[in-house]
């Protein structure tokens, strides 16, 4: 018997995004990625130049179908493609995905977001941004949106270690992240935090500690765990060629993710446990292209351990094994 409560799948022992949406809306929902035309303060000189060393030229929007098109046209093209596989889905969460989608004057942000909120079938927004791009007027607008539809703000953290942040040119510290979460939660806005496993110099213990700190120190409702994808034409490629970066094996990644899941409280929604990258620009790990094999491996490992998300809830115990 599956001991995990937040699932309808006997083989799923974590609180999946798909399950959470079905509970909220009673049906499958498409998450539709959009390029909102924003820049990043880590690229345009606001806080730094060059961007994070792992980031591609698209700002992590490599899988968006038509990023150059007007926002409503992007939406239509994305859902047309999705409907080829799931023709009956008619409700959508628009995901402003790449770069920093609150890095602009408030009138620009409003103009771009408002292009989608009234499109047919749109029930929510998910907004990818950085914790250092949450000025008061933007947070007030997000609070208004939170009253109008189902809203998530996805905060890129990637690591809790200042040494790693400096190595990857993150250009904000952990306290800035904590302050950002606090500002959003003051308005009851749902927060999903992004972390990356496999960053240069981080040990398995550090990757697991990243998750422990995040769920203990901040009031988040969701988490995304990414595998580091080493991409062509990124600054991180130099670290790899200089021997400063070791790519994770699939077995090690599976072990780390399962250890992390055991620490995450069961009510926190797991938005992602791996990622997508275009084959033609991916340097490695190449095993990550087999997304369903990776996810099935995580399910199998939890089953083999007789374990599940939150078994060693870090908020309750202070850490795994305590």
What is this structure's pTM? Answer: 0.94
Cβ neighbour number for residue 16 with a 10 Å cutoff: 21
Give residue 1's pLDDT: 85
- CA-nearest of 236, 246, 218 to 131 is 218
Beta partners for residue 144, in sequence order: none
Tokens representing residue 136 in the block: 């008061």
Q: Which residues, 6+ apart, have CB-to-CB distance to 33 below 8 Å?
A: 61, 63, 64, 78, 95, 97
Give the domains, in start order, of the chain with CATH numbers: 17-313 (3.20.20)
Say how far apart CA 218 and CA 177 lie, in whole Å.
Answer: 9
Give residue 102's pLDDT: 97
Give residue 68's pLDDT: 86
Say how far apart CA 63 and CA 297 lie, in whole Å.
Answer: 24
Low-confidence ranges of the chain (pLDDT < 70): 57-64, 318-322
Written in H, E and C, the secondary structure of 9-76 is CCCCCCCEHHHHHHHHHCCCCEEEEECCCCCCCCCECCCCECCCCCCCCCCCCCCCCCCCCCHHHHHH
Q: Which residues, 6+ apart, have CB-to-CB distance to 172 below 8 Å?
A: 47, 130, 131, 132, 165
Tokens representing residue 12 in the block: 């799923």
Say how far apart CA 224 and CA 274 lie, in whole Å.
Answer: 8
Cβ neighbour number for residue 266 with a 10 Å cutoff: 17
Q: Are 7 and 19 in contact (CB under 8 A)?
A: yes
- CA-nearest of 235, 306, 252, 313 to 56 is 235
Give residue 63's pLDDT: 65
What's the pLDDT tens digit per position in 135-173? 999 999 999 999 999 999 999 999 999 999 999 999 899
In the chain, beta strands by DSSP E: 30-34, 92-96, 122-129, 150-158, 190-197, 222-227, 230-231, 269-272, 282-284
């Amino acid at each position: 018997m599956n001991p995990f409560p937040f699932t309808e799948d006997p083989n799923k022992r974590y609180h999946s995004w798909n399950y959470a949406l079905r509970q909220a809306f009673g049906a499958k929902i498409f998450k539709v990625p959009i390029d909102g035309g924003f820049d990043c303060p880590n690229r345009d000189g606001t806080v730094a130049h060059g961007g994070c060393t792992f980031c591609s030229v698209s700002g992590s929007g490599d899988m968006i179908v038509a990023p150059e098109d007007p926002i409503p046209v992007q939406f239509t093209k994305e859902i047309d493609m999705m409907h080829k596989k799931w023709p009956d889905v008619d409700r959508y969460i628009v995901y402003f995905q790449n770069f920093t989608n609150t890095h602009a004057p408030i009138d620009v942000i409003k103009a771009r977001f408002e292009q989608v909120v009234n499109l047919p079938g749109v029930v929510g927004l998910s907004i990818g941004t950085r914790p250092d791009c949450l000025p008061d007027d933007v947070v007030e607008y997000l609070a208004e949106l939170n009253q109008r539809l189902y809203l998530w703000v996805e905060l890129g953290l990637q690591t809790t270690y200042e040494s790693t942040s400096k190595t990857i040119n993150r250009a904000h510290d952990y306290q800035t992240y904590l302050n950002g979460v606090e500002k959003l939660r003051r308005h009851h806005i749902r927060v999903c935090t992004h972390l990356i496993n496999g960053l240069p110099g981080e040990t398995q213990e550090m990757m697991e500690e990243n998750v422990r700190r995040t769920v203990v120190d901040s009031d988040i409702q969701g988490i995304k765990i990414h595998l580091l994808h080493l991409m062509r034409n990124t600054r991180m490629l130099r670290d790899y060629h200089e021997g400063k970066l070791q790519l994770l094996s699939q077995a090690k990644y599976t072990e780390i993710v399962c250890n992390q899941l055991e620490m995450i409280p069961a009510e926190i929604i797991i938005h992602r446990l791996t990622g997508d990258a275009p084959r033609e620009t991916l340097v490695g790990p190449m095993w990550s292209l087999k997304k369903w094999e990776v996810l099935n491996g995580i399910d199998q490992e939890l089953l083999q351990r007789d374990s599940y998300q939150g078994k060693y809830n870090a908020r309750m115990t202070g850490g795994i094994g305590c």
